[in-house]
Amino acid sequence: MNYDTLRRKLTSTDAMAVFRRLYGLENEGYSHQMTRYSQLVKRHEEIYNNEDSLCIISSPGRCEIIGNHTDHNKGIVLAAAINVDALACVSKSDDNIVSIHSEGYEPVNIDLSNLSPVIGEEGTSASLVRGIASRMAELGFEIGGFDAVITSDVLGGSGISSSAAFEVLCVSIMDHLYNGFTMSTPLRAKISQYAENNYFMKPSGLMDQMAASVGGLVAIDFRNEEPQITHLTQSFAEHDHAMAIVAPGGSHDDLTDEYASIPEDMLSVARFFNEDCLRKVRREQVLHSILELRKSVSDKAILRALHFFNENDRVQQAVEALQNDDFESFLDALNKSGVSSWTMLQNVIVPSDSVQPLALSQALANEVLGTTGASRVHGGGFAGTTLHIVPNDKIQVFKEEMDAAFGYGACSIVDVRPDGACVAFT
């Protein structure tokens, strides 16, 4: 497909159907996405002028509905792909070089003739691309170079997993260009996680990548090597509620050590019982061993382990509540999750910092919502975002109050996106 053909597709009635599915748009939103896509194509033509296998691929952000820091110890989560995305206009290159121009960042070029980790490359997008290509090749998939221009509404450090959106986007690009987009969605997620853990060198579970890859509202049980995925068709709109994500300031970018301490603390408790993850330990074992545990691990580690057990129960409560049309029980589980993350998991406040945006966001949300809705920390914690389930009749005032406190646009109303990473136009 050439540039002119792609531009014509963006103005067709088929494009409106794509935008409606990916972004949940009404008519007034079409022009924004059409402009966004058109500008992306224009930049690709200006930078690369390469029409070989030209296409546009989309990878969504994700929302952790409930299941805070359970995935890395093989727990349970309820997550959703949401209607913001990382978007790439991409074409195939024949020189084994991955070239990426991403809006707001310096251009990146990765030579795929070297698939080993590069010293000093940790923590960069180049490390993720190299790790993805390495793992795909190791698993027997074809890999190769590509030219990509990327724009993203999944802002870095925002708590809706910009890294997972980028990772899954890159896997999807190589899968589409060189393998006919035949890879399973769970495998795309696993390859993304591999790159983040082993090349980017950030410890993470699999929830973020799985939600971005699979799409929709999904309960994911990570107990076994192949995660059990349950798709839920229920929507919050059916119960006159909507999802709001508040970004009160602060970023995950300099908090890797704080984030990494959580799985490490949980693992320290598991190791006490000679297990490699907390999912293999029973709550009763911990409760009956507190005295001896305190000689080997920190009190914080014990609290975080207890959060893990209770959070898994709350995820099950939330899933069953949605399936049984018991929305009050669903909200109850989310609110209890928020309290547990604050008091037991302890990822709402950075102990050494007097700036406490997540705590303030939750406190203000509770003032507005009162006894309605639900509020909790969202994702990794310490910075980033908070999640709120807001009654429709309070959405306007909720957004106004949050924007007034944290800046215009701090509060975003988002919806579940049915599709994970996909080829939007080809």
How many CB atoms lie under 10 A from the CB of residue 94? 9
Q: In this model, does residue 156 exceed pLDDT 90?
A: no
User: What is the pLDDT averaged over residues 190-210?
Assistant: 93
172 within some domain: yes
- Per the structure, the complete domain to which residue 192 belongs is given by 3-61+82-213+417-425
- Both 247 and 187 in one domain: the answer is no
Give residue-wise pLDDT tens across range 324-357.
999 999 999 999 999 999 999 999 998 878 889 9
Same domain, 133 and 190: yes
pTM (two decimals): 0.91
In angstroms, the CA 347 to CA 138 distance is: 36
**Are 252 and 380 within 8 A, CB to CB?**
yes
Q: Let me know if residue 10 belongs to a domain.
A: yes
Query: Are residues 281 and 349 both part of a single domain?
Result: yes
Give a yes or no: residue 317 inside a domain.
yes
With 70 as the cut, is the pLDDT of residue 298 above it? yes
Predicted pLDDT at 155: 64
Query: Per the domain annotation, does 352 fall within a domain?
Result: yes
Residue 405 sits in the same domain as residue 421: no
Answer yes or no: do 409 and 309 share one domain: yes
What pLDDT score was predicted for residue 252?
Answer: 55
Residue 400 and residue 264 in one domain:
yes
Mean pLDDT of 299-327: 98
Residues 362 and 269 in one domain: yes
pLDDT at 231: 96
Q: What is the pLDDT of residues 216-256, one digit of tens each?
A: 999 999 999 999 999 999 999 999 999 999 999 876 556 77
CATH of the domain at 206: 3.30.230.10
Is 229 part of a structural domain of the chain? no
Query: pLDDT (tens digit, 9 = 90+) per residue, 53-71?
Result: 999 999 999 999 999 999 9
Give the model's pLDDT for residue 157: 53
Average pLDDT over residues 253-268: 87
pLDDT score, position 318: 98
User: Is the same domain home to 185 and 252?
Assistant: no
What pLDDT sits at residue 315?
99
309: helix, strand or coil: helix
- Whether 257 and 392 map to the same domain: the answer is yes
Report the pLDDT value the prediction gives residue 352, as an integer from 0 to 100. Answer: 77
pLDDT of res. 174: 99
Give the Cα separation of 147 and 403 in Å (integer).
38
Statement to judge: residues 290 and 381 lie in one domain: yes
Instruction: Supply the pLDDT for residue 176.
Output: 99
Domain-located, residue 112: yes
Q: Residue 384: what pLDDT?
A: 85
Q: How confident is the model at residue 380 (pLDDT cuts 50, 70, 90)?
A: confident
Confirm whether 127 is domain-assigned.
yes
Give how many domains the chain has, as a whole number.
2
Quickly list H helices, 141-251: 162-179, 185-198, 207-214
Question: What pLDDT does residue 251 have?
Answer: 61
**What distance in Å separates the CA atoms of residue 222 and residue 312, rounded to the nearest whole number?**
11
Does the pLDDT value for residue 160 go beyond 80? no
What's the whole-number average pLDDT of the chain?
94
395 and 262, same domain (yes or no): yes
CA Rg value for the chain: 21
- Together in a domain, 256 and 189: no
